[in-house]
């Protein structure tokens, strides 16, 4: 960076810059003290400092000629930016000082920022954590996503039901983004593919008579932790072209023509709020192709600008990580661009594609596996369909070579699923077109290679690998839990922020009474902060002496919020009978959004709220049990929730949760997990030791065996507690004014075909909860477990995960096939 610029941006000029942005950039009176404009002025002040480092980072990467990785994702669940930027740039203290003269505290200013909620849940937040780790590890990784006008909907609860409200997060502008119109790309849709003879007499394909849309990039800086590196998140916005409506202009219908622009600008209007169920909507395919094509054109244009049309080194210098199947159309699009736009032959294009693409799978649920109707796909992307057919034909001949005559296997492995309505299996396209396929936790990867992707594993075992998820310790410990952070700094030094293995040093303090006391005081203060959030958002008082028992995540049957509710009802019933033997008082907190079209998930929310109402209004239970559903769960609310949690609920049916990442955030902040042997829970338990984890439930294998003769009626008949719970539910006790509304939930529990087997794990869950009460009652015992959870959470830093992507996938010398 040039020295004058560097000096100008030092923290000492912060006051002046803040005032300048407030009064000049934003044109406000410097004494009106608006928190809103102060937030904007502060964001611009901080952004100036990021921009300066941004250029340096680009120069450094260019000089080093390193391999650039492009992380393609339909979701980036970023949350707020200001707090994270202040932490990573080490600007918190100077900013606090600068704000003194405005008679305003930083926390109040931070509240002005709306979350960038451009994601549904785990997959989107993982992408955000990964960007933080890549910048911190100084890896040249660019995030590519969509600039949705409307992010994840806001949730309100009315009469216990979820109501969705639009999230117009850009309504006041976004001070963190920089528009780059000079890098606008043109995206084609519809039309048809034709062959023609080019100037050299070669027969080639071209895609003509298309309807085009422009992709305009907006860049957001991603700072590493105090290392001068600033990476980029590039989000594309759709914009109509001008010629788009030429014919209508000429016909004189000016207003109709302008109105028609809407169509094009629809593409990036809204994030699809479906977590784990695929709906086959054509607008969604348009989003996927729009992202894939714009991002690939961007990378190729940059390549051609320096290397010309020589692609021999392209794969050595570029890689793409596909976040689930959502952007896998990129595989066919890269083939098209190389062949049709840059005259590369099929074989060379295929080598380039397969050695640059890598695919991450995030779910085993069949309903989440994307399959696009061949008809719909062929209408919208005719040239890409041709390419996919060709990829498939060549692939199936490889399958035939390996297993001659095995027709079944060919049909099973075909990228095109045959049937009345043939469909493209996007996961298979992802596997065939990539050099690496990974799952997100050890169990998940094993289930992929033994189950869902078994045939592919048998064909190319070297492609498959595991990358257990992680979360960034900057946001999920240093920022969200400043009290604990300070204690860690004092006890083991500050290195842990970028080297989480250092937390192991806390093991020595697990039995140190004085340390435990301080650790627990911090938990107490964080519980008080969480109690304030609960009071403001739900009007229910949480007392910090009680166990804070928390389940926050998307609402889904497989995650079994229902099992948690059944336990709450059991406690309620015991308390009504004055049966308090061995019980410790509890506050049970739920939070999470249901996909708007997912009726069962919405009904689970209603049940939680109705049960909460009955319990919270009963004065006899006041000191024993409180239940809330915190509305509008988000990244920002999690930042208050996880530091104040004692017990982390990770209770999915074994084999269904690919990894989970909330489980890791809770663990870092000293919560103890009650959980099944599912996803990363298994690795969490291994890391912390079985004594410091409340295990229950059937294993993934046992679930599959039990399924064949699952008999919930039999289970209920012999389990008094469960019978009592079902009796209360079925009597209408929680829905006196709304007769019968919970019938579908009751039927699901009693159904021998219940895929989530809630009743099967009930008794084991209740027993584990009893062990929680026993342990919690002894403060020293709980403190020890809690400290050990933080101490052993190092493995779940996304820095560890990203180092593995770097070593095994992005910079592995040997490309796999
Ligand atoms: C096409 C509809 C759709 C939308 C989102 C299908 C599937 C998804 C995602 C795969 C759902 C998701 O977020 N999966 C979660 O990914 C996390 C990060 O790897 C894991 O920790 C969670 O276990 C997994 O459910």
Q: Please work out whether the CB of residue 471 comes within 6 Å of at least one atom of ligand 1.
A: no
Q: Does residue 34 lie in a domain region? A: yes
With b meaning 16 or more CB within 10 Å and e meaning fewer, what string describes 183-199? bbbebbbebebeeeeee
Q: Is 368 in the pocket of ligand 1 (CB under 6 A)?
A: yes
With a 6 A CB cut-off, is 276 part of the ligand 1 pocket? yes
Q: What is the pLDDT of residue 115?
A: 98
Mark whether 225 and 168 lie in a shared domain.
Answer: yes
126 lines ligand 1 (CB under 6 A): yes
CATH code of the domain in which 258 resides? 3.40.50.2000
Rounded to 5 degrees, what are φ and ψ at 741?
-65, -25
For 141: left if phi > 0, alpha if psi spans -120 to 50, otherwise beta; the answer is beta
Asked if residue 227 and residue 275 are part of one domain, the reply reads yes
**Which among 151, 124, 146, 273 has a CA at the least distance from the CA of 213?**
146
Residue 640's CB is within 10 A of a number of other CB atoms, namely 17
Residue 812, C-beta contacts closer than 8 angstroms, at least 6 positions apart = none
Mark whether 462 and 493 lie in a shared domain.
Answer: no
Closest Cα to atom 9 of ligand 1: 276
Residue 539, helix vs strand vs coil = coil
Q: Is 329 in the pocket of ligand 1 (CB under 6 A)?
A: no
Determine the pLDDT at residue 816. 43
Length of the chain: 817
Same domain, yes or no: 17 and 36: yes
- With respect to residue 817, please indicate whether it lies within any of the assigned structural domains: no
Residue with tokens 């920002």: 636
Examine residue 731 and state whether it is found in any structural domain, yes or no: no
Within this chain, do residues 147 and 214 fall inside the same structural domain, yes or no?
Answer: yes
Q: Note whether 463 and 524 are same-domain residues.
A: no
- Distances in Å between the alpha carbon of 788 and those of 117, 207, 508? 32, 60, 10
Q: Sign (positive/negative) of CA torsion 138, 669, 696, 718?
A: negative
Residues 458, 578, single domain; the answer is no
Quick one: 451 and 532 in the same domain?
no
Phi, psi angles (nearest 5°) of residue 23: -90, -30
Q: Is the CB of 363 inside a 6 Å radius of any atom of ligand 1?
A: yes
Ligand 1 center to 426 CA (angstroms)? 15
Q: Tell me which residue has its CA closest to atom 3 in ligand 1.
A: 276
Concatenate the DSSP letters of all residues of 80-145 into one string.
-SHHHHHHHHT-HHHHHHHHHTTT--HHHHHTTPPPEEES-SHHHHHHHHHHHHHHHTT--EEEEE
618 in any annotated domain: yes
To test ligand 1's pocket by mutation, which of 76, 122, 323, 656 has the most ligand atoms within 8 angstroms of CB? 122
Number of structural domains, the chain?
Answer: 3
Q: How far apart are CA 564 and CA 725, in angstroms?
A: 12
Active site amino acids: 362, 553-554, 559, 661, 665
CA–CA separation, 412 and 332 (whole Å) = 21
Taking the centre of ligand 1 as the mean of its atom positions, its distance from the CA of residue 364, in whole angstroms, is 9
> Does 741 map to a domain?
no
Identify whether residues 230 and 303 lie together within a single domain: yes
Residue 617 token pair: 């209004």
- What is the mean pLDDT of each successive set of 10 residues along the chain, which is 817 residues long? 57 87 91 87 97 95 94 98 98 96 94 98 98 98 98 98 98 97 98 95 95 98 98 98 67 77 90 84 96 99 97 98 98 98 97 98 93 97 98 98 97 97 98 98 98 97 98 98 98 98 98 98 98 98 98 98 98 98 98 98 98 97 98 98 98 98 98 98 98 98 97 98 98 98 98 98 98 98 98 98 98 61
Atom of ligand 1 nearest to the CA of 120: 13
Mutate to test the pocket of ligand 1, among 118, 279, 362 (most ligand atoms within 8 A of CB): 362
User: How many whole angstroms from 594 Cα to the centroid of ligand 1?
Assistant: 14
571 neighbors 621 (Cβ within 8 angstroms): no
Dist CA 47 CA 91 (whole Å): 12
Give dist(CA 519, CA 492) in Å, integer: 14
**How many Å lie between the centroid of ligand 1 and the Cα of residue 138?**
27
In a domain, 104, yes or no: yes
pTM for this model (two decimals) = 0.97
Q: Does ligand 1 lie within 6 Å of residue 120's CB atom?
A: yes
Helix axes 758-777, 720-730, angle to 10 degrees: 110
The answer to whether residue 756 sits within a structural domain is no
Instruction: Count CA atoms closer than 13 A to 500's CA, side-chain side.
Output: 28
Q: What angle, 0 to 180 degrees and rounded to 10, lies between the N-to-C axes of helices 482-492 and 513-538?
A: 170
Are residues 240 and 213 in contact, defined by beta-carbon separation less than 8 angstroms?
Answer: yes
Do 119 and 106 share a structural domain? Answer: no
* pLDDT the model gives residue 655: 98
The full 3-state SS of 183-242, as one line of letters, equals HCEEEEECCEEEEEECCCCCEEEEEECCEEEEEEEEEEEEECCCCCCEEEEEEEEEEECC
Q: Residue 817: its pLDDT value, please?
A: 45
Paired strand residues for 214: 186, 239
Q: Residue 614: which domain range?
A: 473-699+762-794
Residue owning the nearest CA to atom 13 of ligand 1:
123
Using most ligand atoms within 8 A of CB, pick from 363, 423, 448 the residue to mutate for ligand 1. 363
Task: Give the per-residue pLDDT at 11.
Answer: 56
- Residue 448 Cα to ligand 1 midpoint, Å, equals 15
Whether residue 713 lies inside any domain: the answer is no
Atom index in ligand 1 nearest the CA of residue 125 equals 18
Give yes or no for residue 122 CB within 6 A of ligand 1: yes
Statement to judge: residues 294 and 176 lie in one domain: yes
pLDDT of residue 65: 87
Asked if residue 774 and residue 649 are part of one domain, the reply reads yes
Instruction: Output the residue whose Cα is nearest ligand 1's atom 21.
Output: 660
């Amino acid at each position: 960076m040039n020295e004058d610029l560097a000096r100008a941006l030092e923290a000492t000029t912060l006051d002046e810059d803040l005032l300048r942005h407030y009064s000049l950039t934003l044109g406000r009176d410097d004494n009106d003290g608006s928190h809103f404009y102060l937030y904007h002025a502060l964001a611009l002040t901080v952004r100036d400092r990021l921009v300066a480092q941004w250029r340096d980072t680009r120069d450094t990467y260019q000089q080093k000629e390193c391999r650039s990785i492009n992380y393609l994702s339909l979701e980036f669940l970023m949350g707020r930016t200001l707090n994270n930027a202040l932490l990573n740039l080490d600007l918190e203290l100077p900013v606090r000082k600068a704000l003194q003269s405005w008679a305003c505290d930083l926390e109040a200013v931070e509240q002005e920022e709306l979350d960038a909620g451009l994601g549904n849940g785990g997959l989107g937040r993982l992408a955000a954590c990964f960007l933080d780790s890549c910048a911190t590890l100084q890896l040249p990784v660019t995030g590519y996503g969509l600039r949705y006008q409307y992010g994840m909907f806001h949730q309100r609860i009315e009469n216990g039901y979820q109501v969705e409200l639009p999230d117009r997060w850009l309504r006041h502008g976004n001070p963190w983004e920089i528009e780059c119109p000079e890098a606008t790309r043109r995206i084609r849709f519809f039309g048809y593919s034709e062959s023609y003879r080019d100037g050299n007499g070669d027969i080639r394909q071209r895609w003509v008579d298309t309807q085009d849309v422009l992709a305009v990039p907006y860049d957001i800086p991603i700072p590493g932790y105090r290392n001068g590196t600033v990476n980029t998140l590039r989000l594309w916005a759709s914009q109509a072209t001008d010629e788009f409506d030429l014919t209508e202009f000429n016909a004189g219908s000016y207003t109709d023509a302008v109105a028609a622009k809407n169509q094009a600008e629809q593409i990036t209007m809204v994030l699809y709020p479906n977590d784990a169920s695929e709906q086959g909507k054509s607008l969604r395919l348009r989003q996927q192709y729009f992202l894939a094509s714009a991002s690939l054109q961007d990378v190729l244009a940059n390549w051609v600008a320096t290397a010309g049309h020589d692609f021999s080194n392209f794969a050595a210098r570029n890689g793409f990580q596909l976040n689930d199947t959502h952007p896998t159309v990129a595989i066919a699009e890269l083939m098209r661009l190389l062949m049709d736009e840059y005259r590369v032959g099929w074989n060379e294009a295929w080598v380039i594609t397969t050695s640059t693409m890598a695919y991450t799978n995030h779910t085993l649920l069949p309903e989440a596996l994307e399959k696009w109707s061949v008809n719909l796909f062929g209408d919208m992307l005719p040239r890409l369909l041709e390419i996919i057919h060709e990829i498939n034909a060549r692939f199936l001949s490889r399958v035939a070579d390996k297993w001659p005559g095995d027709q079944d296997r060919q049909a099973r492995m075909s990228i095109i699923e045959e049937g009345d309505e043939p469909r493209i299996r996007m996961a298979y396209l992802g596997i065939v077109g990539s050099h690496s396929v990974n799952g997100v936790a050890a169990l998940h990867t094993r289930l992929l290679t033994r189950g869902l992707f078994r045939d592919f594993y048998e064909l190319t075992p070297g492609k498959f690998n595991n990358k257990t998820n992680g979360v960034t310790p900057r946001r999920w410990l240093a920022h969200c839990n400043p009290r604990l952070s300070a204690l860690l700094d004092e006890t083991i030094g500050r290195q842990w922020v970028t080297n989480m293995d250092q937390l192991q040093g806390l093991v020595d303090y697990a039995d140190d009474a004085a340390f435990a006391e301080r650790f627990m005081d911090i938990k107490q203060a964080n519980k008080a902060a969480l109690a304030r959030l609960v009071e403001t958002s739900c009007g229910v008082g949480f007392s910090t002496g009680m166990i804070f028992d928390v389940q926050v995540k998307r609402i889904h049957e497989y995650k079994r919020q229902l099992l948690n509710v059944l336990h709450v009802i059991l406690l309620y019933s015991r308390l009504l009978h004055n049966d308090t033997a061995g019980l410790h008082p509890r506050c049970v907190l739920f939070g999470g959004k249901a996909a708007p079209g997912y009726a069962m998930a919405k009904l689970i929310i209603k049940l939680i709220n109705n049960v909460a109402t009955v319990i919270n209004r009963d004065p006899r239970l006041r000191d024993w049990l409180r239940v809330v559903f915190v509305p509008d769960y988000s990244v920002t609310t999690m930042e208050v929730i996880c530091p104040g949690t004692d017990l982390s609920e990770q209770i999915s049916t074994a084999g269904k949760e690919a990894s989970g990442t909330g489980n890791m955030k809770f663990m870092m902040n000293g919560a103890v997990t009650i959980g099944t042997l599912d996803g990363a829970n298994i690795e969490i338990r291994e890391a912390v030791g079985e004594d410091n984890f409340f295990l229950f439930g059937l294993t993934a294998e046992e679930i599959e065996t039990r399924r064949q003769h699952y008999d919930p009626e039999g289970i209920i008949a012999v389990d008094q507690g469960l019978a009592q719970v079902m009796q209360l539910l079925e009597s209408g006790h929680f829905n006196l004014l709304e007769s019968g509304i919970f019938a579908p939930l009751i039927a699901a529990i009693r159904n021998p075909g219940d895929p989530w087997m809630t009743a099967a794990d009930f008794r084991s869950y209740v027993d584990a909860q009893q062990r929680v009460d026993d342990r919690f009652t002894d403060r020293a015992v709980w403190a020890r477990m809690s400290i050990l959870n933080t101490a052993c959470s190092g493995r779940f830093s996304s820095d560890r995960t990203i180092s593995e992507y770097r070593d095994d996938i992005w910079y592995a010398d040997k490309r796999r096939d």
